Amino acid sequence: MTREEVRSRIAAARIVPVIRAASAKQAMEAAEALSAAGIAIVEVTMTVPDALELINRLRCSTQLLVGAGTVLNAGTARECVEAGAEFLVSPICDPETVSYSRDCGLLSMAGALTPNEVFAAWKSGADIVKIFPCSSAGGAPHLRALRTVFPQIEMIPTGGVNLANAAEFIRAGAIAVGIGSELVSGEPAAIAGKARQLVASMTELSR
């Protein structure tokens, strides 16, 4: 899948669930619950035990678009690519990681918060800039201000995004939202229920 194809799937879904879990088993159950609820994308963070094995398992056994998160350097990026990750996400901007992602033909999301950081991440070659932690900088109004001065840069806010405010971030100009514990926590049935609510709210925005 090309970078543009991955970007298009993310833009269409508008939701990138960020899976952090205490075990690979919990993470797998969460991914399956999200898929059953209609969310076809997951980001597995490197903080999940056996994250690389999990990424490979998800690629082999599901139809999910599987990305790797909390990728902090090119070495980790290489391991994620070998495991089958289809996009790479960082909470920071590491130019070597971005460059490696592009060399491999993978979409990359580099982290930033301030205007200088956003521009630097985009200039480094990041396809999408992850605005993190967005809530600490003002939430949707902060994103809207960044999009006003950088309309050419696509952004995904994470950190503080929840079911109640996700649509507000989309209206503020986000291509999609990254949502972690507010969505991906609890028993699988609870995760699926929250996921269906979120999918419904995103669908409503298109009407």
Active site residue ranges: 43, 130
* 95 cis-preceded (ω within 30 degrees of 0): no
Decide the pairing of beta strands 177-179 and 155-157. unpaired
Which of 12, 11, 85 is closest to 48 using CA atoms? Answer: 85
Give the Cα-Cα-Cα angle 186, 188, 193 (nearest 5 degrees): 90
Determine the 3-state secondary structure of 82 from DSSP.
helix
> How far apart, in whole angstroms, are the C-alpha atoms of residue 99 and residue 25?
32
Q: Which residues of 113-131 are buried (b: 16+ CB within 10 A; e: fewer)?
A: beeebbbbbbebebbbbbb
CA 81 to mean position of chain CA atoms: 16
Q: Report the C-alpha gap between 106 and 76 in whole angstroms.
A: 14
